[in-house]
């Protein structure tokens, strides 16, 4: 795992086409924005896990 320190407004680049920008830090909460091509799906972990569970359930039926 790569651990980085950034301040508000700074970017993290992932490959050539994905960027993560720190938008705000408020106490223990960090807001960030993700810029990615339309064909790249970006989800919060809990949403992604729910989608995977539904997909797996559909394959069992």
The pLDDT, as a whole number, for residue 29 is 94
The pLDDT, as a whole number, for residue 58 is 83
> How many Å apart are CA 19 and CA 32, to the nearest integer?
10
The pLDDT, as a whole number, for residue 33 is 97
Residue numbers of the chain with a pLDDT score lower than 70: 60-61
Task: Indicate the pTM of the whole model.
Answer: 0.76
The pLDDT, as a whole number, for residue 34 is 97
The pLDDT, as a whole number, for residue 30 is 94
Are the C-beta atoms of residues 9 and 21 closer than 8 Å to each other? yes
């Amino acid at each position: 795992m790569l651990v980085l320190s950034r301040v508000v407004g700074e970017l993290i680049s992932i490959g050539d086409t994905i960027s993560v920008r720190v938008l705000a830090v408020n106490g223990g909460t960090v807001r960030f924005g993700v810029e990615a091509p339309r064909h790249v799906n970006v989800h919060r972990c809990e949403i992604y896990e729910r989608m995977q569970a539904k997909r797996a359930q559909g394959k069992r039926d």
